[in-house]
């Protein structure tokens, strides 16, 4: 379906969550009031409204955070049941945290009430969501206005577009025919009339046409200036299928520089709001971690200075976002002249581009321990705070390695480097270099705030056990 229909469907799911969550809250409260437990549970109007408002906001926020609304109208029932259970369970936790944070005295939140609230919400939301597609389709057919679309072109690209339009019929989209140089017919799930382009002016006057989509080769677009002008004069919305551009990893969107429209291809995440939230999360967590770890970091730095000559902090130039150079910090885990010895140990290297060797002879007495449990990475929290790095992202490479990258591998520089990444969970230093690169591309292509949290939480047990490092 079109993105505006998609946004409408997401808004519908958000609105129904407000209604159904509120209903579940009321049902849970009434049920708990009728249960003759020893402890009496009661909320006055002010406390009930405050708690209900917090609950609804939490339910909606969790739904958007985990992208639940993006797949509800097409997901399998098992996925709907699982995602809704996760939403309701986390929502119940948020309600409990809110009660203790706000201290709604003299009221004490009833555990049976919270359990009933989560259960009722799960049942009501699942009942609606499992039947969402047919409910939305029925509402559309009864109260919505059909949206009539014509396609310019009759080749394979136009046929694929026609099939997609047919599948969107539940959302009120109606394919009424095709336009091309010659008259004819196009057979999809049913047969559509193909009109010659010369009849466009007549068709616009005789039929309701809300928009026209051009699905032709790039060479033909330049020949259709008069067709675009005719649509513009008539006020008909036009769209152009741009899948003929070879941007296989890019998201395509329209931007503007002043009054000049720009067709933009982005091969890395570009949503400024979500990237800002990622940055806020980085600053908050890095600040908290530095405050918590600072006494231990002081002791580790002192231990390094007492056991080996040289500075406690190792500094190195690394490549950051889009190749920007920055000074990278680590606790020194090797002898002070480790970089000078690197060339003499090159024959032990296990990676094709990066330099990694097991049981590195340059490690200090405590260096192996620091590396095994990633304690040497702690100073990079300062890099995160400065904005050179993120908590999650491809690991920053030295410029010499970047010079050896193949063209497709350079795309990993389009994401801010991080403390941890996908391949850190899959084997860390035991993986080969190409696998590193492919997993970094996978992270960039599927990035979301949920994925970042997932990687962070899964990294913790990996680091504590020291698995995969050498």
> DSSP letters of 145-202?
--EEEEEE--SHHHHHHHHHHHHTGGGTEEEEEEEESS-EEEESSSEEEEEEGGGHHH
The answer to whether residue 266 is domain-embedded is no
- Position 282 scores a pLDDT of 94
pTM above 0.75, yes or no: no
Residues 88 and 236 placed together within one structural domain of the fold? no
Residues 325 and 448 placed together within one structural domain of the fold? yes
Residues 72 and 150 placed together within one structural domain of the fold? no
Q: What is the CATH number of the domain that holds 170?
A: 3.40.50.720
Residues 89 and 235 placed together within one structural domain of the fold? no
Residues 114 and 25 placed together within one structural domain of the fold? yes
Number of alpha carbons in the 13 Å side-chain half-sphere of residue 263: 7
Last residue of a domain, one of 104, 138, 172: 138
The answer to whether residue 261 is domain-embedded is no
Task: Round to whole Å and give the CA distance between 130 and 79.
Answer: 10
pLDDT in tens, 340-366: 666 667 666 666 566 666 667 788 888
- C-alpha distances out from residue 86 to 80, 123, 195, 211, 461, Å: 10, 13, 51, 40, 22
The answer to whether residue 409 is domain-embedded is yes
Contact 313, 330 (CB under 8 A): yes
- Position 222 scores a pLDDT of 81
Domain count, the chain: 3
- Position 23 scores a pLDDT of 95
The answer to whether residue 306 is domain-embedded is yes
Max CA pair span of the chain = 89
Residues 131 and 153 placed together within one structural domain of the fold? no
Residues 421 and 347 placed together within one structural domain of the fold? yes
Residues 134 and 158 placed together within one structural domain of the fold? no
- Position 355 scores a pLDDT of 63
Burial environment of residue 414 by CB neighbours within 10 A (0 to 12, 13 to 18, 19 or more): middle
- Position 106 scores a pLDDT of 46
Residues 378 and 452 placed together within one structural domain of the fold? yes
CA 317 from centroid of its chain's CA atoms: 30
Residue 184, token pair as written in the block: 């004819």
Last residue of a domain, one of 97, 123, 138: 138
Sign of CA dihedral 136, 138, 140, 144: negative
What residue numbers bound the domain in which 67 lies? Answer: 3-138
The answer to whether residue 259 is domain-embedded is no
Residue 302, token pair as written in the block: 């002192």
- Position 41 scores a pLDDT of 73
For residue 129, which of 57, 89, 70 has the smallest C-alpha distance?
A: 70
Regions of the chain short of the pLDDT cut 50: 1, 106, 143, 470
Task: Round to whole Å and give the CA distance between 157 and 217.
Answer: 9
Residues 277 and 341 placed together within one structural domain of the fold? yes
Question: Cα-atom radius of gyration of the chain, to the nearest Å?
Answer: 29
Residues 408 and 392 placed together within one structural domain of the fold? yes
The answer to whether residue 254 is domain-embedded is no
Residues 277 and 423 placed together within one structural domain of the fold? yes
H and E: helices and strands count for the chain: 17, 12
- Position 33 scores a pLDDT of 81
The answer to whether residue 363 is domain-embedded is yes
Helix axis angle for 3-34 and 111-130, nearest 10°, is 140
């Amino acid at each position: 379906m079109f993105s505006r229909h998609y946004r409408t469907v997401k808004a519908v799911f958000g609105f129904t969550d407000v209604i159904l969550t509120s209903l579940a809250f009321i049902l849970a409260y009434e049920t708990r009031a009728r249960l003759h437990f020893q402890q009496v549970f009661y909320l006055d109007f002010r406390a009930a409204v405050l708690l209900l408002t917090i609950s609804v906001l939490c339910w909606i926020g969790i739904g958007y955070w985990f992208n639940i609304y993006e797949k509800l109208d097409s997901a399998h029932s098992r996925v709907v049941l699982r995602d809704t259970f996760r939403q309701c369970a986390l929502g119940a936790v948020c309600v409990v945290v809110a009660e203790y944070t706000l201290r709604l005295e003299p009221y004490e939140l009833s555990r049976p009430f919270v359990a009933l609230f989560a259960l009722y919400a799960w049942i009501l939301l699942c009942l609606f969501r499992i039947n969402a597609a047919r409910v939305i389709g029925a509402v559309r057919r009864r109260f919505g206005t059909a949206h009539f679309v014509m396609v310019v072109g009759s080749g394979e690209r136009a046929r694929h577009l026609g099939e997609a339009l047919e599948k969107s019929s539940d959302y009120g989209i109606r394919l009424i025919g095709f336009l091309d140089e010659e008259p004819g017919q196009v057979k999809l799930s049913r047969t559509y009339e193909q009109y010659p382009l010369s009849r466009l002016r007549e068709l616009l006057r005789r039929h309701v046409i809300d928009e026209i989509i051009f699905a032709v080769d790039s060479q033909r677009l330049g020949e259709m200036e008069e067709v675009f002008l005719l649509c513009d004069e008539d006020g008909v919305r036009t769209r152009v299928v741009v899948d003929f551009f070879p941007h296989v990893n890019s998201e395509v969107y329209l931007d503007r520089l002043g009054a000049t429209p720009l067709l933009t291809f982005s091969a890395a995440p570009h949503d400024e709001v979500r990237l800002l939230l990622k940055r806020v999360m980085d600053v908050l967590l890095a600040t908290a971690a530095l405050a918590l770890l600072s006494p231990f970091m002081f002791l580790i730095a002192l231990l390094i200075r007492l056991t080996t000559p040289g500075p406690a902090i190792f500094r190195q130039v690394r490549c950051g976002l889009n190749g920007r150079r920055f000074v990278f910090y680590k606790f020194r885990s090797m002898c002070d002249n480790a970089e000078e010895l690197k060339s003499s140990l090159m024959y032990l290297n296990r990676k094709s581009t990066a330099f990694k060797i097991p049981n590195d002879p340059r490690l200090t007495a405590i260096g192996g321990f620091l590396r095994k449990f990633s304690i040497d990475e702690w100073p990079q929290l300062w890099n995160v705070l400065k904005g050179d790095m993120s908590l999650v992202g491809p690991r920053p490479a030295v410029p010499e390695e970047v010079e050896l990258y193949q063209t497709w591998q350079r795309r990993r520089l389009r994401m801010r480097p991080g403390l941890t990444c996908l391949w850190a969970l899959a084997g860390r230093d035991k993986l080969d270099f190409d696998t590193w690169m492919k997993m970094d591309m996978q992270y960039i292509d599927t990035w979301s705030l949920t994925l970042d949290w997932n990687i962070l939480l899964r990294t913790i047990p990996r680091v504590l056990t020291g698995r995969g490092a050498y």
